[in-house]
Amino acid sequence: MEKLYVTEEGLKKLRDELAECRATSPRIADEIEHARSYGDLRENAEYHAAKEAQAKLHARIRDLEDKIARAEIIDGSQIDATKAYLGATVRVLNRKTKREFTYTLVSPVEADMAAGKISIQSPVGQALAGKSVGDVVIAQVPAGELPLEILGITRE
């Protein structure tokens, strides 16, 4: 079983989502029972929609349970704080546009671009991984090459 490295915050979010999904399950079961009362199940749109929602919910629950079972929290004290690794917040300069960005490198399950959290497995995350302040890396993104200069690395 392959380990899934996550932050404490990421594991908490997975557990919270699992609890929410489990709390939703009885409501969907009630919807199925209510839709059954309408009679003929072959042409009962409400019944089929509720069964589909139930199947999706159960698949998500299984996925979350698997991720939580494989999760291993990153021990920041064991990681070189001068390099960009999982859990590090990296300030970079896009050398093409001369704009600064700050990214937190996280596991794929924690990635949230709107919050500045990028997957360590993304093209930018892979380019930054293991690099130090002052290094210039080239990330291969769909739009081409993206030259980034690492300006700072912090750990939370």
DSSP 8-state class, residue 2:
-
What mean pLDDT is predicted for residues 2-9? Answer: 84
What φ, ψ does residue 109 adopt, rounded to 5°?
A: -75, -15
Specify whether domain 4-73 bears CATH 1.10.287.180. Answer: yes
Q: Which CATH number fits domain 76-155: 3.10.50.30, 3.40.50.1820, 1.10.357.10, 3.40.50.360?
A: 3.10.50.30
**16-58: per-residue pLDDT in tens?**
999 999 999 999 999 998 888 877 777 788 888 999 999 999 9
pTM (global) more than 0.75: no
